[in-house]
Amino acid sequence: MNMFTIVLLIVALVMVGITVALYFLGKRAEAKRAEQEEQIAAASQQVSMLIIDKKMMKLKDSGLPEQVIASTPWYAKRSKMPIVKAKVGPKMMTFICDNMIFNDLPVKREVKATISGLYITSARVSHGKVVKAEEKKKGLRAWLLRKNKELRNK
């Protein structure tokens, strides 16, 4: 066996090892996600709210309570999240929105939303039609998001 064959064999073994590790990590993450979805569904409630503003912003700039910011992992504090400012009854509140419905939420309109704590899981317009957000450039990522949304709606 020459040196080139040995190097290719080692690289192939490392790739197989990484693939197996990623498979098991993905299974564990999927189980954790299913458990979180159950908890969110158990604590959900229907609320009528007026959407004032929606933005993608960093968690520390969002205006969420300090307790929420302190309980998030360090890597999530730097990333931008879909934040919705809404009027629920007489109170102005800040919510974190699900990525799948963020673009479809109409601004300055009243919606009936399903919330779990400070997390908006779904929403539908109370009066009138939903004004869809303009579709951005189509690509692989947009296709995957669309397929994921279709699977969730089934």
Beta bridge mates, 87: 50, 92
Q: Between 118 and 131, where is the model more confident?
A: 118
Confidence at residue 80, expressed as pLDDT on a 0 to 100 scale: 92
Among 28-37, 120-129, 130-139, top mean pLDDT goes to 28-37
143, pLDDT greater than 50: yes
Phi, psi of 39 (to 5 degrees): -65, -40
Pairing of strands 91-97, 119-125: parallel
What is the pTM (predicted TM-score) of this model? Answer: 0.66
* Contact between 131 and 106 (Cβ < 8 Å): yes
Query: What was the pLDDT predicted at 128?
Result: 60
Q: In this structure, are residues 114 and 44 in contact, taking their beta carbons and an 8 Å threshold?
A: yes
| Per-residue pLDDT band at 126 (split at 50, 70, 90) | confident
Q: How far apart are CA 11 and CA 24, in angstroms?
A: 20
Question: What is the mean predicted confidence (pLDDT) over 118-141?
Answer: 72
Lowest mean pLDDT among 39-48, 49-58, 119-128: 119-128
